[in-house]
Structure 1
Amino acid sequence: MNNAQLNEMKQKYVANGAASPATQFADRAENALIWDADGNRIIDFAGGIGVLNIGHCHPKVVEAVREQLGRVMHTCQTVMPYEGYVQVAEKLSQISPVRGHGKVMLVNSGAEALENAVKIARAATGKNNVICFDGGYHGRTFMTMAMNGKVAPYAADFGSMPGNVFRAPYPVPFHGVSEEDAIRGLKMTLKTDANPRDTAAIVIEPVLGEGGFYPAPASFLKAVREICDEHGMLMIVDEVQSGFGRTGKMFAIEHSGVEPDLITMAKSMAAGMPISAIVGTDTHMDASGPNSLGGTYSGSPASCAAVLAVLEVFEEENILAKSQALGETLGKRFAQWQERFACVENVRHLGAMAALDIVSVDQTPDADLAAALCKRAREKGLILLSCGLFGNTIRFLMPVTIEEEVLEEGLAIVEASLAELAS
């Protein structure tokens, strides 16, 4: 079927709230390229929203999944476990910088990981409250919608959210929130809304994902760690988008030297297969009773096989070094754009987790221009994503494994689109 036929079916059968606004349908993909149902070649700077750090259809991952599907597709690991699950648990325990000895729970999505992290924190501390941050994004289930630091489009239409979730400012100096402001705000939240004796955890992204790719300073993350320790609260780090090599380290929190109590991860850990994980200090992970955590498809055999293959690729292809090099390339190009185009401001990157802000003539966020840039890039054959609390951030999530010539082709499209829109 071609794009037009598929769009007609989409309009008839797919719920509006779940339907993509894109009119092209992926037919096949390889590394940083996608071909649509009409045969058009498209460069992918979105990576399935950060899922494809090692690219589309990496041969090693495809082969691992294919081999696993010929052996066992499903048993439900709580009914009859299998080797892949415990192998993944061992590997994640070894690479995750949590305090003490790490234990692991596997689930299906980033939102599920965050939901279960909250459950674990409540069981471990006997407390209920959770503190999150402005601009944070943690998922689309009810608990994670309550935890998100942005209402539209995630929670605007769905009524009341779960309680016991409180919010503090995230340090983004470009938007007028200094590190000192953020620390003061967090301490005020603990005084005015979330009594520490009733607060189980503080949940933070070391680099805001959907909130705009703003890295938290290492000193701020250390302050959060100290506040958690002072009050007997757990520090939960959400690495769903920033993890698995995006920032030049396996996890973004490693840049700060801070050891959290729990880490959540998903997206690029399986290169497109649905799986997520909570890794945490063993005493916390073991706090709830038998059969209190789990799910029918949690840690499926095929997804576990993909994770193990991804970890091999990281070692064999030196992905972390490639991420650092890609970030340096993007940073240099962004600096050129900032000098050339008045609408480009606040360019930044941590490894290959890179972004820039689109602003109007008075230096205020310009979401309309950011949307126009993404639209123009798509017309030229490039998938580009905006994000941010004000909708004016352009984030770059191309595979770390992108070929140099494809990277340059995509960056040239962004530059040409900026030139057209800024003129």
Structure 2
Amino acid sequence: MRAPRGTQDILPGTSEKWQFVERKLMDICHRYNYKEIRTPIFEHTELFQRGVGDTTDIVQKEMYTFEDRGGRSITLRPEGTASTVRSFVQNKLFGLPNQPTKLFYIGPMFRYERPQQGRLRQFVQFGIEALGSNDPSIDAEVMGLAMNAYEELGLKSLTLVMNSLGDKDSREAHKQALVDHFSPHREELCADCQVRLGQNPLRVLDCKKDKDHPAMADAPSILDYLNDESRSYFEKVKAHLDRMGIEYVIDPNLVRGLDYYNHTAFEIMSRAEGFGAITTLSGGGRYNGLVEDIGGPETSGIGFALSIERLLMALEAEGVVLPIEEALDCYIVSLGEKAEEASVRLTHQLRQAGVQVDKDYLQRKMKGQFKSADRLNAKYVVVLGDREIEQNAVSVKDMETGQQEELPLEEVAEFLKKQLAGGKD
């Protein structure tokens, strides 16, 4: 038996990197006052049809959808925004006194697509959503959080790319200009773009197949269709980023193809050599209409999402070594039947005292137990023998210095806690 195609096992030795990254992301969210939300792994299919959009590749081609025993259409979540917004509406978080509602999530998502490096059918996504504010400063905050997360993990080859999609009027004017521009070339476009031209022409600009078509080079820019309000909003977002010292690049062809996106859209790209052909690390933007589509009050939002898999790839491409603590605090070596019985009790007591400890479970001889302690990179080894048990004493060895001392059994926990804390009282 093998794992299904497009999935992977995260084994010890690698899972520690995941844990470190996830803790760092959670810590940053705590500093920015974003609270964790955990939603179901599967939802009613209609949520994603509404929340992601019928015209998207995700809904049309990539969702894992099935009918449950009650005849309901159920889908494994392909992304986190729709579920977060559904929970926001269902649990009336919009009625809480502290607004905007600032949330983060982390968990597995599922998309049926061709597996490739950094693209799996089950992947882990981290994302944030800030719901209930139209202030341009929160757009800058969201982008700042994303950049801060990557930088604190050690990435340097980053580019923040942003654009404005404008308000509804600006987008409608731009969409019509795109239709007028691409219609004469309709038959030259891929089959998907021929459909997109009628349903969501913005997504033509994001097509990987037609990106080198000559008509792409002089396609109408959304920046030429921004009305005064949209232009002012965009200028304020840029000004806030400037105040924060965050560098960015404007790309008029950057679009988020969902109907409810408006104003700010952004992606963070990796410039690291060897990262791969797909350089996008994360993407996000501001949206209107999504909360209303799911049954809530008129509420705007902004968020972004990143793949943990691609984040780890970027760290590897830049040669970033995460500071993973691999040493074991203490290993207990026991010699004799009474010592083995005492080791069970001592192991439990040390763990209750907050010491990371392990012992032999294979009845190995003393030499084999010390080898096991070496393989686990134990900082200290506690040696228990039947004679020592009778004297209520143990031997504690510092594996780095080789220094060894005898201690009463009841003092071992406090001694180790003090030594592991750096010898401080």
| TM value normalised by structure 2 | 0.23
Largest Rg, 1 or 2: 2
Quick check: which one's strand share is greater? Answer: 2
| TM value normalised by structure 1 | 0.23
Q: Higher RCO, 1 or 2 (CA under 8 Å, sep at least 6)?
A: 1
